[in-house]
């Protein structure tokens, strides 16, 4: 989709379009002042850490369980989002039904709704006295203040990512292949998994990755429903927060650094995957 800018200047090697210096200056200045310099601070203060101390902090039982909770819940939430996001994209692209436009417009709600509001609202809904939580409580299942609750909150914030990643690709997908597959005698399920899904897979994966990354870092909507029970429902961002409240800045920095590296690795993985996939799509 993205059009590559051809590497051509005019014959003298001079840029024709004015404004290069100005826009480069503005971009670099703002980027450095507002993003890069603050970001470097975390590495500066991490360098003051004693290596042994650093290892001690990030391998303590509480912190490790925080990483595990964050990663596992975010992963399951991303899987759920991939399935339902795929389904939603399919329904929105392929079917006509009343209320479709409203449904399409609603997808971005988790994006527009402040996370804290979503957090308290979901907690109320899924707590033992809540509308949905009470139904499950009768069956002896607790949702709020467990990992299930955390996963639900992460599903909430991740919905738009998969839908919006898959939707445009599905819109452009030529139906001829499906028809051909059907004519050749393939069943509907077979056609979907062998013809449609491979085409959608790169975008589905990209959406999955974004939802996953968002889930790992999510704080506002998760913190209320998590309930902050040590070793059970403490997510990594919450640990950073509680270290900060105790003014243990170096501990917070250490935890943050590992979390940062995790999300960078994830982002790098997504990016290289997309570049790899784009190779097949370029004509």
- Given 260, 269, 273, 274, the residue binding other proteins (CB under 8 A): 260
Q: Kindly state the smallest distance separating residue 60's Cβ from other proteins, in Å.
A: 18
- Our CB check for other proteins shows the closer of 127 and 146 to be 127
Stretch that binds other proteins, among 60-68, 129-137, 142-150, 226-234 (CB under 8 A): 129-137
156 class by beta-carbon count within 10 Å (0-12 exposed, 13-18 middle, 19+ buried): buried
At closest approach, how far in Å is the CB of 17 from other proteins? 5
Whichever of 89 and 146 has its CB closer to other proteins, that residue is: 89
Taking contact as CB under 8 A, which single stretch among the options 2-10, 60-68, 141-149, 199-207 is the one that binds other proteins?
2-10
Window 224 to 253, contacts with other proteins (CB under 8 A) = 224, 236-238, 240-241, 244, 249, 252-253
| Residue among 65 and 237 whose Cβ is closer to other proteins | 237
Residues 7-66 contacting other proteins, CB under 8 A: 7-9, 15-20, 22-24, 26-27, 30-31, 34-39, 41-42, 44-45
Residues 241/242/246/247 CA torsion (nearest 10 deg): -20
Residue 92 beta carbon to other proteins: minimum distance, rounded to whole angstroms: 8
Two structure tokens written together for 204: 């589905």
Q: What count of residues does the chain have? A: 283
Burial of 204 (0-12, 13-18, 19+ CB in 10 A): buried
Considering only residues 176 through 215, tell me which ones interact with other proteins, judged by CB under 8 A: 179, 182, 188, 213
**What b/e string do you get for 252-269 counting C-beta neighbours within 10 Å, with b at 16 or more?**
bbbbbbbbbebeeebeee
Task: Select from 13, 61, 112, 185 the one that contacts other proteins (CB under 8 A).
Answer: 112
The per-residue DSSP string of 60-122 comes to SHHHHHHHHHHHHHHHHHHHHHHHHHHHHHHHHHH---TTHHHHHHHTTHHHHS-HHHHHHHH
């Amino acid at each position: 989709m993205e059009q590559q800018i051809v590497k051509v200047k005019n014959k003298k090697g001079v840029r024709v379009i004015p404004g290069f210096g100005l826009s480069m200056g503005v971009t670099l200045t703002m980027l450095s002042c507002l993003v890069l310099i603050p970001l470097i601070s975390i590495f500066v203060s991490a360098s003051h850490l004693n290596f042994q101390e650093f290892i001690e902090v990030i391998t303590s039982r509480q912190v490790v369980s925080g990483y595990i909770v964050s990663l596992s819940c975010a992963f399951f939430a991303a899987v759920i989002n991939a399935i339902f996001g795929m389904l939603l994209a399919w329904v929105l692209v392929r079917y006509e039904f009343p209320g479709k436009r409203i449904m399409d417009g609603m997808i971005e709600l988790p994006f527009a709704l402040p996370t804290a509001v979503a957090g308290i609202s979901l907690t109320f809904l899924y707590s033992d006295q809540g509308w949905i939580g009470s139904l499950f409580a009768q069956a002896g299942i607790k949702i709020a203040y467990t990992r299930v609750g955390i996963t639900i909150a992460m599903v909430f914030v991740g919905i738009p990512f998969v839908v919006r990643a898959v939707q445009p690709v599905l819109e452009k997908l030529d139906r001829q292949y499906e028809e051909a597959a059907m004519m050749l005698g393939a069943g509907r399920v077979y056609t979907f998994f062998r013809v449609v899904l491979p085409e959608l897979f790169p975008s589905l994966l990209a959406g999955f990755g974004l939802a996953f990354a968002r889930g790992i870092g999510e704080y506002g909507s998760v913190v209320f429903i998590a309930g902050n029970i040590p070793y059970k429902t403490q997510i990594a961002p919450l640990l950073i927060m509680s270290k900060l409240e105790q003014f243990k800045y170096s501990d917070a920095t250490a935890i943050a650094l590992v979390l940062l590296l995790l999300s960078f690795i994830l982002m790098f993985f997504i990016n290289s995957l997309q570049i790899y996939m784009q190779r097949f799509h370029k004509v």
